[in-house]
Amino acid sequence: MKTQVGIIGGGPAGLLLSQLLYVNGIESVVLEKHSREHVLGRIRAGLLERGTVQMLQQAGVAASLNKNGLEHDGVELVYKGRNCRIDFFELTGSKMTIYGQTEVTRDLYQAREKTGGRILHKATDVTLAGIDTERPKIQFHHDGQAKTLDCDFVIGCDGYHGVSRAAIPSKVKREYQSSFPFAWLGVLSETPPVSEELIYAYHQRGFALCSMRSKTRSRYYIQVPLDARVDHWPDDRFWSELNTRLPSEAARNLITGPSIEKSIAPLRSFVCEPMRWNSLFLAGDAAHIVPPTGAKGLNLAVSDVRYLSQALSEFYQNKATEGLDNYSQRALDRVWKASRFSWSMTRLLHDFYEDGSAFSNRIREAEFEYLATSQAARMSFAESYVGLPY
Ligand code: RFL
Ligand code: PHB
**The ligand 1 atom nearest the CA atom of 39:** 22
How far, in Å, CA of 349 to CA of 327, rounded? 33
378 in the Ramachandran plot: left (φ > 0), alpha (ψ -120 to 50) or beta? alpha
Catalytic residue among 34, 72, 147, 337: 72
Catalytic residue among 99, 109, 307, 385: 385
How far, in Å, CA of 369 to CA of 390, rounded? 31
Find the ligand nearest to 47 CA.
1
Nearest Cα to Cα of residue 385 among 318, 325, 340: 340
The answer to whether 39 and 11 have CB atoms below 8 angstroms apart is yes
Catalytic residue among 296, 307, 327, 350: 296
Domain locations along the chain:
5-72+98-177+268-346, 180-266+351-386
Q: What pLDDT was estimated at residue 45?
A: 85
310 in the Ramachandran plot: left (φ > 0), alpha (ψ -120 to 50) or beta? alpha
The answer to whether 188 and 213 have CB atoms below 8 angstroms apart is yes
Overall pTM surpassing 0.95 (yes/no): yes
Q: What pLDDT was estimated at residue 351?
A: 87
Q: Is any ligand 2 atom within 6 A of the Cβ of residue 295? A: yes
**137-142 β-sheet, strand order:** 124-129, 137-142, 145-150
Q: Is any ligand 2 atom within 6 A of the Cβ of residue 364? A: no
Q: Which fold has domain 5-72+98-177+268-346?
A: FAD/NAD(P)-binding domain (3.50.50)
Find the ligand nearest to 200 CA.
2
Q: What pLDDT was estimated at residue 356?
A: 65
Per-residue tens of pLDDT for the chain, all 390 residues: 999 999 999 999 999 999 999 999 999 999 999 999 999 988 888 999 999 999 999 999 999 999 999 999 999 999 987 899 999 999 999 999 999 999 999 999 999 999 999 999 999 999 999 999 999 999 999 999 999 999 999 999 999 999 999 999 999 999 999 999 999 999 999 999 999 999 999 999 999 999 999 999 999 999 999 999 999 999 999 999 999 999 999 999 999 999 999 999 999 999 999 999 999 999 999 999 999 999 999 999 999 999 999 999 999 999 999 999 999 999 999 999 999 999 999 999 998 877 667 888 899 999 999 999 999 999 999 999 999 999
User: Among 8, 35, 44, 53, which residue has the most ligand 1 atoms within 8 Å of its CB, making it the best to mutate?
Assistant: 44
- For residue 188, the SS3 value is strand
Cα(45) to ligand 2 centroid in Å equals 6
**The ligand 2 atom nearest the CA atom of 98:** 2
How far, in Å, CA of 209 to CA of 196, rounded? 13
CATH class of 180-266+351-386: alpha beta
The DSSP call for residue 208 is E
Same fold, 5-72+98-177+268-346 and 180-266+351-386: no
